[in-house]
Amino acid sequence: MREPRCIGVLAWPKISFRLMNDRATDAAHPRVYLETYGCQMNIADSQTVSAVLRRAGYVSADRAEDADVILLNTCAIREHAEERVLGRLGELSRIKHARPEVKIGLLGCMAQHNRAAIMEKAAFLDVVAGPDSYRRLPEMIGRAGDDALIDVRLDRAETYADITPDYGGGVRAYVTAMRGCDKFCAFCVVPYVRGRERSIAPAELMREIGELAGRGVKEVVLLGQTVNAYRFGDADFGALLKMVASIGGIERIRFTSPHPGDMSDSVIEAMATEPKVQPYLHLPIQSGSDRILAAMERGYTVADYLDLVVRLRAAIPAIALSTDIIAGFHGEEDSDFEATMEVMRAVGYDSAFMFKYSVREHTRAFRLGDSVSREEKGRRLSALIALQEEISLARNRATVGREFPVLVEGQARRGEGMMAGKTPQFKTAIFAGVEGVAAGDTVNVRVDSASSHSLMCSIA
Ligand code: SAM
Ligand code: SF4
């Protein structure tokens, strides 16, 4: 689930991931350092990688400098994400130079997307593994020698359903419900790097989520690039939501990212009738211009999208909406951009994730070109962010005086004794901690004041 406080941030977070069976340091347990770039799907994938390596006897290292194996799980969605990884590889080359026996591997979407260019820039890599090759990682690392071992086969059957990921702990867990994407939006590299859509059997998901509930997880976020396209046999995504809601101990259910075209009556009905499914929806629009939406091959018009928003708000009155918007897609004129700003005002998103268009090799839009200059993309992005800040502030201020049940996550990042959690609408609520209130509890809070990113509250 992407957090509202990330508004306008263009780079995905980088996360160092520590494996679960820590602290053995003998040679029989090689130490691995795994760094993750990108979206929640990548974080979930790193948890699967962690489980695969742990089963094979690896333990974690806290720092790349101390590791026997260094792995970067990468993102290829925009050029900027790739540049960050290339910069990091430059740093890692120094470790490889000082300790040639260290194995360095590149995993994930960038490995799949750009391996030739990467091997040219980072010839010292020992392992290059795409998103469907993680099962073979221990073998690949073991065999890596003078030449890099590369495995970027896409596998229509691979779901890792039998591997329980190493969850990081906390009250919320992200569970991959489906992998890949069949939509082929013109700008997007995901179908090429993650392969075709495939869903994980409900029985496997129920087992995994049941185990998480047993470990104290209260909130589950179902993941997929188009998660609401989920289908396994007769079960669609609405049915899956209801099944997950039947699991004792799980109090809240969310999902990301749904595609507007797959927002069926069954999903809306499950959201409206199942109290555990939270009233929050990330509904990427990408552009508010029909001309640009058609060029993006998104499969809906602005009118279709706005009609969906009306149906969602009628069925789920408390719903909060967030979105993704791309600034400066090829051919975007001032009038198209104005139309996007207009739709943002009309919908009144609670938060938004906004990006400069980044041309991606292999996509359908690659051949179209890149007509909007870098400077103009920057100007449009800044205007989008400024508008969204205003809208978010107004929407958050409208909650002042109201009460919300907040699932407590722990200490707030700032403020001595302050605690933080999420409202059902996925807004960050911050309040002074009191004796007896701990992570995993749900407390009722009243909103005292609001910024565009969070709500300052008191326990009601
Ligand atoms: N599947 C989701 C959907 O259809 O809305 C989105 C998943 S995608 C990994 C996350 C977001 O990255 C997209 O919604 C889009 O806004 C953005 N994105 C994808 N390709 C992009 C590109 N080439 N340039 C800029 N932003 C891009
Ligand atoms: Fe990319 Fe479109 Fe698939 Fe989303 S639906 S992952 S934007 S191709």
Report the half-sphere exposure of 117 (CA within 13 A, side-chain side).
12
- How far apart, in whole angstroms, are the C-alpha atoms of residue 271 and residue 314? 12
pLDDT tens string 39-56: 999 999 999 999 999 999
- How far apart, in whole angstroms, are the C-alpha atoms of residue 73 and residue 68? 16
- pLDDT value of position 6: 21
Q: Does 370 have pLDDT greater than 70?
A: yes
What is the best residue among 43, 355, 367, 385 to mutate for testing ligand 1's pocket, by most ligand atoms within 8 Å of CB?
A: 355
Rounded to the nearest whole angstrom, what is the distance from the C-alpha of residue 256 to the centroid of ligand 1?
A: 13
| 257 pocket-lining for ligand 1 (C-beta < 6 Å) | yes
What DSSP letter does each residue of 251-294 carry, written as one string?
Answer: -EEEEEPPPGGG--HHHHHHHHH-TTB-SEEE---B-S-HHHHH
Nearest alpha carbon to residue 209 among 148, 151, 143, 161:
161
Rounded to the nearest whole angstrom, what is the distance from the C-alpha of residue 257 to the centroid of ligand 2?
A: 9
- pLDDT value of position 3: 30
- How far apart, in whole angstroms, are the C-alpha atoms of residue 261 and residue 114? 30
Asked if omega into 46 is within 30° of 0 (cis), the reply is: no
Q: Does 424 have pLDDT greater than 70?
A: yes
CB distance 439 to 408 below 8 Å: yes
| 324 pocket-lining for ligand 1 (C-beta < 6 Å) | yes
Whose tokens are 């600034």? That residue is 327
Rounded to the nearest whole angstrom, what is the distance from the C-alpha of residue 11 to the centroid of ligand 1?
A: 13
SS3 379: helix
pLDDT tens string 156-185: 999 999 999 998 889 999 999 999 999 999
Q: Per the confidence metrics, is the pTM higher than 0.85?
A: yes
CB distance 331 to 292 below 8 Å: yes
Query: What mean pLDDT value characterizes the chain?
Result: 92
| 131 pocket-lining for ligand 2 (C-beta < 6 Å) | no
| 286 pocket-lining for ligand 1 (C-beta < 6 Å) | yes
Whose tokens are 């470790």? That residue is 95
| 355 pocket-lining for ligand 1 (C-beta < 6 Å) | yes
- How far apart, in whole angstroms, are the C-alpha atoms of residue 148 and residue 136? 14
